[in-house]
Amino acid sequence: MLTWQEARRYHNNQKGIHQRGGQILSICASFSGEKRRYHDQLLSEDLMIYIGEGDLTKPQSDTYGNLALKKAKETGTIFPVIAKWNENQYEYLGKWQVIDWEYSPLHGFPAHYRFLLRRVEPPETETRKAKEIICSQGNFHPQKVSYEIERILRDTRVIQELKVLYNYTCQVCNIPLNRGIGDPIVEGHHIMPLGKPHNGPDIAENVVILCPNHHALFDIGAITIDVAQKRVIHVDPNDSLNGSIFVLKHTINEEFVNYHNKYIFKGSIW
């Protein structure tokens, strides 16, 4: 951990966003929840959501900091980021870039900027390990990335609330996937998918909360649920998940499960 004096080597500015002449120089992300109910969010070692400049009592405007971050996406600018974990506890997180941003109201707050940042260069001690990871990602597909971004930036309010209801724990395995920092990893899945051609609704009755593994199984149609019996059904009857308990604390509309069974689930329902 660094003190503020030490952290100033990377971010010599009192504001979260340090820019000069519209050029981003560095940012300080705040993961300390003491004062702000809604703060920046580290999604993984290499991905974070950074909330734009300006308080959240009114819509955020195009301040110099927000403009500089938007421009940084266009220019591909790479800049150092420090994290504030607590009072006088900072950490240098390496160099990052803006890969997308969105401006809209979310979670009951007026319109604000959410910048999606990706780390391109970790702090020195981790450089080698990360280089291997970056090499292995050399062939990523843009479509896949934009889907990921959409999912991350637009986690709907319904999903946010359900994640809290389930205490960030998968309804299938009931295991919180601890990532060491912040809330466990859990994802909202729309049983009748949003968007074409399914056009499912974004309502709680159409959403389940799953860990990434079980989300994948749901997506490819390897599992479904029996709402009345609160059980998981696996396409492979011998799989240990088949017949296991499905944790259910909110109402699911079976119409959506029927849709999943008919068009997505690979097995037969008896």
Residues that bind Zn ion (CB under 5 A): 170, 172-173, 211, 214
* Separation between Cα atoms, residue 82 and residue 3, nearest integer Å: 11
Give the residue with the Cβ less far from Zn ion, 114 or 215: 215
Under a CB-based contact definition with an 8 Å cutoff, are residues 225 and 144 in contact? no
Residue with Cβ nearer Zn ion (114 or 189):
189
Place of tokens 């990532």: 179
Quick check: helix, strand or coil at residue 163? helix
Q: How far apart are CA 221 and CA 131, in angstroms?
A: 35
The distance of closest approach from Cβ of residue 166 to Zn ion in the complex, given in angstroms and rounded to an integer, is: 11
Q: How many Cα atoms are found within 13 Å in the side-chain-facing hemisphere of 241?
A: 20
Write down the least CB distance from residue 262 to Zn ion, Å: 24
Residues pairing with 84 in the sheet: 30, 90
Nearer to Zn ion, 170 or 207 (CB): 170
Q: Give whichever of 28 and 233 is closer to Zn ion, judged by the CB atom.
A: 233
Beta carbon nearer to Zn ion, 111 or 173: 173
Q: Which residue is nearest to Zn ion (CB)?
A: 170
| CB 210, min distance to Zn ion, A | 6
Which residues share a beta bridge with 102?
114
C-beta of 24: minimal distance to Zn ion in Å?
38
Amino acid at 155: D
Place of tokens 């990602």: 137
Closest distance to Zn ion from the beta carbon of 178 (Å): 13
Shorter beta-carbon distance to Zn ion: residue 2 or 208: 208
Nearest to 85 by CA among 133, 31, 139: 31
- Rounded to a whole number of angstroms, the minimum distance from the CB of residue 168 to Zn ion is 12
Verify cis geometry, omega within 30 degrees of 0, for the bond prior to 197: yes
